[in-house]
Structure 1
Amino acid sequence: MNYRDCILMSTQRGLDVFNYYMPFKVIPKKKFKSPFYHDTKPSCHIYLDTKTGYYRYKDFGESQYSGDCFWFVATMFNYDMKRDFRLILSKIDRDLGLHISMADPNFKSEVKAVPFRKPQPSGTETAKISTTSKNVTKKAKVTEKSFSETELRYWAKYGIDKETLCRFNVTSAHRYSNVNDEGKPYSFMSSESEPMFAYHVGSNLKVYRPFSKPRFLYASSSGSDYIFGMEQLPTRDNIVFITGGEKDVMSLSAHGFNAITFNSETANVPKTILERLKRRFKHIVLLYDMDETGVKCSREIQMANAELGLLRMELPLDGTKEHKDVSDFFAGGGTAEEINNLFLSIIKEKHEQTASLLKCCELDYDNPPELSRMVVGVNGVPIGSCGNLLCVTGGEGVGKSHYISSIVAGALSEEELDKDMTLGLDIARNKNQKAVLLFDTEQSEAQLYKNVSTILKRSGFDAKPDYFHPVYMTAMARNERLTLIRDALDMLYYRHKGIQIVVIDGVADLVRSANDEQESISIVDDLYKLADIYNTCIVCVLHFVPNGFKLRGHLGSELQRKSSGILSIEKDEIGNFSMVKAMKVRDGSPLDVPLMKFGWDKEKDMFVYLGEKSKDEKEKWKETELKDVAKGIFKHEGAMPYTRLVSLVMENMDVKERTAKKYVSIMKERGIITQFGDSNYNMGKL
């Protein structure tokens, strides 16, 4: 039986290996999220392969992530399955404490560690010294001692104190002994002039001799799992630095930064490790030495991992032996604030275009903008204003087109029209004869002509003024209509030195489907931008029947979110008139806006204003609306605390928190809801 099979037989056919390296207990055939990449839902499982008789890993979302326990360890620790297979076997044996190689001498010869990068010796004597990790597990030995004052002074110049050394598991080494490649023993002793320090990283032990050659010695087998500083990182933070050495990591940490290093600057940086760091840190910054090798390596790593958006920081050092890394920077008087400033300059350069755009859009508080001018209001309450959208909605036959005609008539007049002509609305007068645009997407040319005649009659014009532009769009393709509206606004804005109001009668006909979320968001965004660019109010007529305080469809939802006001027209069959109620008022409560009535007058051959509903009628309507809202909320949820109830009222009625709290208070007063306990609420007995 070979080494591989012995491991499988000793680990329940590989199941124990998966369990050891997984962050949770593995249950065969139970799905879990991938540990190798960001997985949105469980798509992996461990199963017993009946053909081989061993457990395997299967990823149904990414088929390349599938294999046995040896493949799993290789992928987890960035090993090459062919080149490093013996190292993989050895790692499993060592980590799980199987002791297979020790139990059978036939297996020992198969275990061979991958060596570290070999430091360059300075002469023939040191050339014979083994500076690799080959056989060091057996032969190398390190004895330790307490830190001397001289050693602590050495670290102190980099800002590293004894507490930092202990936190990173760094000790003072007294003696290092090993055998060279020829089997001859040798050793090094620490002294005041030639100190030695031991870096402990998991099962890896690396000896550092700052003033001697070779500078690095190894006292245990190690591979690509050597990452100094990884254990000391927080779970999440903004920045993590990747540096070229252990001293740099501790120096950065001592100054308040997160940092790690691999075995050397030229070591391969595993993409899997970078991906994990990216999930934990907002920015990964490469901070390598400023010599030719360090600069080259950091650039290559950044380019090789472009999709991860790694940043590079260059220090103001000349790159010579004593002035090349971040620990030299701190030793020379550099400060944490300077590192922060260097980082900010990198961020500024990265977001240069964004910064330019931000400067254009950022509020200049010392130069306040002009107040948005009210175009349409009710009793002094703004419903539609410049730079905003106003939505008018209702079902078939409720008089929407006639109501819109009254708004257009008021916008045409140079004098403020009487409310009888504007059906109860306050419409800003057009004293400078700015452009008034009416786009009709549903009615024929003949019907539009009839509507325009009524508009002119309301506004007191005998002929159509030059600044009034009614446009019928029924003959145009839907995808051409917005382009025409956009171009017309641009052209007429300059011709008439401004735009008073824009009415789109049938805004749903600008899109293929009012239930297409992406298209609805896009069209409303475009209209909102046009209102802002041309400093006008765009009235969007939506031929939907609203449901309580909500508009139907994605287009309705988006208009509800972006509009400054929403007016809903309903038919009162008993009174044979139409009623207008406010569904949304950005600067107030919709339930505080009066209910307006209008109906047909045969003598005047047009709709006329019939006044406001009485206070009692309005209170009854308010109570009915609040009952419907409460029923909708408690239909899907049982009893709930006050904060949850307020949140749902805000969501269902599209109002701010203060208004929602007012509505909850009214519901409680009128017995629509009841309170029990300290702060729980339920539906009342209606």
Structure 2
Amino acid sequence: MNIKEEILEHTNRGLEIFSFYMPIDFVPKRNFRNPLYEDRRASCNIYFDTRSKCYRMKDFGNEMYSGDCFWFAAAIQGLDMQRDFMRVLKMIINDLQLNIPLPYHDWSEKSKSNANIPPKPPISVNASKQAGSKKWFRIAEQSYKDNELGFWARYGIGTKTLQRFQVKSIARFESVSNQGKAYTIHSSSEEPMFCYSMRNFVKVYRPFSKMRFLYGGEKAEDYVFGFEQLPNKGDILFITGGEKDVLSLSAHHFNAICFNSETAQIPESIIESLLLRFRHIILLYDTDETGLREAERQTEVLSAYKVLTLTLPLQGIKSEKDISDYFALGHTEKELRGLLSAMLSQIYTQTIMMLRSCEIDYDNPPDASMSVVAVNGVPLGTQGNLFCITGGEGTGKSNYVAAILTGTLGTERLPAERTLGLEITPNPNGLAVLHYDTEQSEAQLHKNLGKTLQRASLKTVPEFYHSLYLASLSRKDRLKLIRESMDLFHHKHGGIHLVVIDGIADLIRSANDETESIAIVDELYRLAGIYNTCIICVLHFVPNGIKLRGHIGSELQRKAAGILSIEKDDNPEYSVVKALKVRDGSPLDVPMMLFGWDKAEDMHVYRGEKSKEDKEKRKTDELIGVVKEAFRSSLKLSYQELCEILMREMEIKERTAKKYIAYMKEQRILAQDTNGNYQKGELCRT
């Protein structure tokens, strides 16, 4: 394996290199402005190239600014990729702390520092020396021994976690004391040595020695261990007292960082940036006197940022005081999540009281009342994204929602015909399924819950399924309850499988208020990312072609991963489901599905797909509408201009736009003049 391939293997195929050198936050597959020049339009994105099997950057506005992670690292540092290639590789290895050796003649510092050390195959040596500095040090790295791996294993920490955080076993550590006297310490089976590396600084950890910590190099003022390993977004971030605690939490699937010690003051600037990425920041310090005192002090200093504190049920003695000890004593990830759930339940006492009054009690139906026709819809999408369902009254949206929810109540996937033509991912782990309704009466929602159970062949409501009636709450309280109950149910059930918000427009005062519309869609998108779930937004609008109306419709069109529209078919006994937006390809290429009422089944059933002729007619009509709009202010457009308009208006990729241009030429929707420019074709002029 060559060096370039080794670097890709260590950096998630180059994605971590883009994340390290990119001066702005980005999300793969989502457009942003290119930081390499004054880019006025967000027409650049990071994607995984299946041909080269690595992440690449694509700039649709300027092809010259496209390339792989090595090209980007060179460009952002002002280096020439051809002339400085080995320098770029060395820079990446140093900056990302990768345990990858370069060829001997390219690693000049290494050859100097190792001059007096005899070669030994299992040991690699790194050194850092500054003239006249007391921070000089040299370490001799070695492979992990069985007893050393056994030490980490007590806390649930395996080799993958050690490699991810660049924790090394060292055979020898050389440095100078504060008085300038050189010394050397060797590792042994009784006193092993490990080091945490952060660029030009190392912290040596000797768990069984009298002097447990030694330092070498120049420590950065903003020392934060584990920061580079954090995801872009998440639910909970723990701040612990030491590096071993960070490793133990990470090994048990929690996000964690630590500063140099529990007594170190946490910079407010770091807390501010982390709050943009995580829902909760929780101090998880030792349960001894120092840890309890510092946790209380830090909480008070950071009170403006609502930093929380979790105290472990440990005695506070030497062998039982921190999260590493907690796991070493046999406690599990599930038990820690139980402690989190209990802590949040105390915080959300008022919300729990509201939940009890809002949740449908299926065994105790409410008094009969007049039924009100509500706006119902069924979004369908992927984890971490929004999906939207839209349509008018009387189109069968309530039953469509019931069919989608039915597919989430079992452990195995139901046949597509059972869920009205959709393939719904089952829920074998019993994660939370949440259905919020803002418009229907309590009696109607109880009736709909019965239909959902009937379709799923269930007699009782599963513990993880919560159908919540919000119509009686104020708009402000509705959003508050949704936000806080998602957090509660996420921890109670170990995650959220699906969320349905039936009547998203009723969370704000007006669906045509731009500020409110942007804010509510952004908040729901943020929640979908934090809890890694799909949020289905039901919008009561009749769409105009492939576009949604109103400001809230425009925001959903931009942010949602997909949009479905339910309309009455030409045959009034059927409803037809059309795709207005899909993640990959074009919605016009997705089949139109039919469903209708079946008396024998006492429910709506799947009626197949519309014919190929109907599909082609819809495709032609929609493309004619897009072309007429495109040429509203111009009689002629170049190929590139037309391609960009189609990509923007239809939310499709470049290859799909080019395919549609060829199709529209063939169907006489577009015409081309002698200069190669495009204009409206015969079908658009009739």
Please state which band the TM-score falls in when normalised by the shorter chain.
0.3 to 0.5
The TM-score normalised by the length of structure 1 is 0.45
Larger Rg: 1
